[in-house]
Amino acid sequence: MSAPTTSLTGTRAAVFVSAVRSRTASWASVLATVGMLVLMLAIGQAAFGDFITPRLISSLFLNNSFLIVLAVGMTFVILTGGIDLSVGSVIAFSGLLGAQLLAHGWPSIVVIPLMILSGTVIGAITGVMVAFFEIQPFIASLAGMFLARGLAYVVSLKSLPISDGGVDWLIATQFTVGQWSVTPGVILALLFVACAFWVLHYTRFGRTVYAIGGNAQSARLMGLSVTRTTFIVYLISGTCAGVAGLIFASYTGSGNPLAGLGMELDAIAAVVIGGTILTGGSGYVLGSLCGVLVYGLIQITITYMSIDSWWTYIVIGALLLIFVVFQRLLGARRRA
């Protein structure tokens, strides 16, 4: 984020204009996503009739609550210009760990924090490698991914059921108002979005995150604690993945070593569709929320149209392409 007051070259007005333009550009991506969301809802309503119902919107949030939490963590990482491939595997590890401990009779009040902590630990390992040893995020989180998936199999080779009140509560409890319904899992996910929004836009830490994504070298020269912030960003992503694992385990009522396979890609796709640029420094967590909703809506639409499920992959691939090219065009204009 370029602040107008730090100008060294060019006039103040020119810097201000460019700052406004770069801000419009990053908002434009988010607006495009929101527009996409509205358009899809409108087309759905026109094509199927009775599409936009409280039930559909509620289930959209309910079925994607874990993906929302993942996307929040991923947004932090991508904003710094990094990437976290480990989150999908962490879902399997965290869920299976919880299921195994509960099966051994541990109380859920101990197990739930441990499930979240398992994600934090994987995030910490990735974070140490990226922040202190300057290993590329892609490779470091690849190690985290292998580690978490392997550890999941160490915990159990097959899927374990979860029948615990404490974990079930997250999804089984439904607060209903009319046809709207919401579960604690969804509330938790939205709470994460709200917290992330506050942290990213109203704290010093959040500004440092954007600064690192803009240019890590400059951020370091400005005296920002790049190493510490980078480490914490992966810690946040890991913790989010742990929470997502908890919600996912509660959602499926089991811990499964194959859970979350490829879900890191869903999260990255949602963040990119939400207008965050993969090189970092530009994007909004609310955009990521919209990205997840677009993603969920594609799946619902494909189910409604009762066409084969593999079209989901093709549509998402095409959508990714459109958004990336769109961002590229915006970026090109900004630089001109």
Partner 1 sequence: MKRLLRHRLFWPIVALVLLIALNTASRPSFLSITINDGALYGSLVDILRNSAQLMLVAVGMMLVIATRGIDLSVGAVLAVSGAVTLTWIAGSSSPGSIETVATAIALGLGVTLILGLWNGFLVSVVGIQPIIATLVLMFAGRGVAMLITQGQITTITSAPYTFIASGHLLGLPFALYISVLVVLVVSLLVRRTALGMLIESVGINPEASRLAGVRSRGIIWGVYAVSGLLAGGAGILYSSNIMAADANNAGLNIELDAILAVVIGGTSLMGGKFSISGTVIGVLILQTLTSTITFLGIPPAVTPVFKAVVVIVVCLLQSRRVRELILRRRKVSRPSPVEPLEAVMSR
State residue 259 phi and psi, 5-degree precision: -65, 150
Candidates 149, 193, 245, 295: give the one binding partner 1 (CB under 8 A): 149
Evaluated on CA atoms 290, 291, 294, 295, the torsion sign reads: negative
Q: Quick check: 233 binds partner 1 (CB under 8 A)?
A: no
Under rule CB under 8 A, residue 129 binds partner 1: yes
Applying CB under 8 A, which of residues 257, 280, 283, 287 lies at the interface with partner 1?
257
Binding to partner 1 by residue 221, rule CB under 8 A? Answer: no
Instruction: Look at residues 73, 64, 62 and name the one whose alpha carbon lies nearest to residue 237.
Output: 73
Question: Is residue 198 close enough to count as binding partner 1 by CB under 8 A?
Answer: no
- Answer for which of 41, 70, 121, 151 binds partner 1 (CB under 8 A) is 151
Distance in Å, CB of 110 to partner 1, minimum: 25
110 scored as a contact of partner 1 (CB under 8 A): no
Residue type, 47: A
Site string for partner 1, 296-315 (x = CB under 8 A): ------------xxxxxxx-
Q: Is 99 in the site for partner 1 (CB under 8 A)?
A: no
Tokens 């908890």, residue located: 246
- Cβ closer to partner 1: 58 or 118? 118
Q: Does 97 bind partner 1 (CB under 8 A)?
A: no
Residue 318 touching partner 1 (CB under 8 A): yes
Query: Which residues in this chain contact partner 1 in the complex, by CB under 8 A?
Result: 83, 85, 89, 125, 129, 132-136, 138-140, 142-147, 149-151, 153-154, 157, 257, 265, 268-269, 272, 278-279, 308-314, 316-318, 320-321, 324-325, 328
